[in-house]
Amino acid sequence: MKKVFTFAIALLSMFATTKAATGVFNVTVPSPTYQCWVVGNFNGWNQLAMTQCTMVDATHYTVTLDEANFTDKTVTLATLQYKYCSGNGDWAYVEKDAAGAELAANRTFTASP
């Protein structure tokens, strides 16, 4: 009986799935901004792996990131750091401050209530 129980638990664990957390990212951009991308530690800060955001209107973009799709599996929404880029997902178009300098600090994810 113990072997059957152990086998059943092992079989069930093969089919058990855990739902990865997802985070919704919303950004306000200056007009005109024609594209918006997000890059961060979830994808190794890789320019070629940037995720394109969806345009909501002329000054807002959104994207949903799923932990299950993170390149770096050690990153969670709680440890996520990121920046936005415009253009074609190019570091030359990383977000800047009002003086035109690249932001020193990375953004971190905060879940909406």
d(CA 23, CA 101): 28
Neighbours of 49 (CB within 10 A): 13
Average pLDDT over residues 69-81: 94
Distances (CA, A) of 71 to 2, 12, 31, 50, 85: 40, 27, 31, 11, 19
34: phi then psi, degrees, rounded to nearest 5:
-95, -20
**pLDDT band, very low/low/confident/very high, at 82 (cuts 50, 70, 90):** very high
3: phi then psi, degrees, rounded to nearest 5:
-65, -40
Q: How many residues would you count in the chain?
A: 113
Cis (ω within 30 of 0) for the bond into 32? yes
Buried residues in 60-74 as b, exposed as e (16+ CB within 10 A)? ebebebebeebeeee
In this prediction, residue 41 carries a pLDDT of 96
What's the mean pLDDT when you consider all of the chain? 83
pLDDT at 8 over 90: no
Tens digits of residue pLDDT in 17-41: 445 699 999 999 998 999 999 999 9
Average pLDDT over residues 1-13: 41
In this prediction, residue 111 carries a pLDDT of 75
